[in-house]
Amino acid sequence: MNEILQYLKTRGESHDTLIAEATGNTLTHTRIHLIELASIKEIMVCYRTLPTPSDDPTS
């Protein structure tokens, strides 16, 4: 968890996939630790939902 927090302090906000890659952790491991860090108010987490093709009103 400390390596993730150090990464964020050094580089600023980032996507979970980039954090996982940079720290050498699995995406699942990284997401678990991000949730733990958010629960103790060390970080703030933002969730983004990507639209699916069926949500596109132009198609």
Helix (H) / strand (E) element for 31: namely helix 27-39
CB 19, CB 30: distance < 8 Å:
yes
User: Is 32 within a domain?
Assistant: yes
Residue 52: the pLDDT is: 64
Domain with 17 in it: 2-39
User: Is 51 within a domain?
Assistant: no
State the total domains in the chain.
1
Please return the burial class of 13, using the count of CB atoms within 10 Å of its CB with bins 0-12, 13-18 and 19+: exposed
Phi and psi angles of residue 13, each rounded to the nearest 5 degrees, phi first:
-60, 150
Residue 46: the pLDDT is: 86
User: Is 22 within a domain?
Assistant: yes
More confident residue, 22 or 59: 22
User: Is 53 within a domain?
Assistant: no
User: Is 50 within a domain?
Assistant: no
The string of pLDDT tens digits covering residues 29-58 is 999 999 999 999 999 988 877 666 665 565
Provide the residue count of the chain: 59
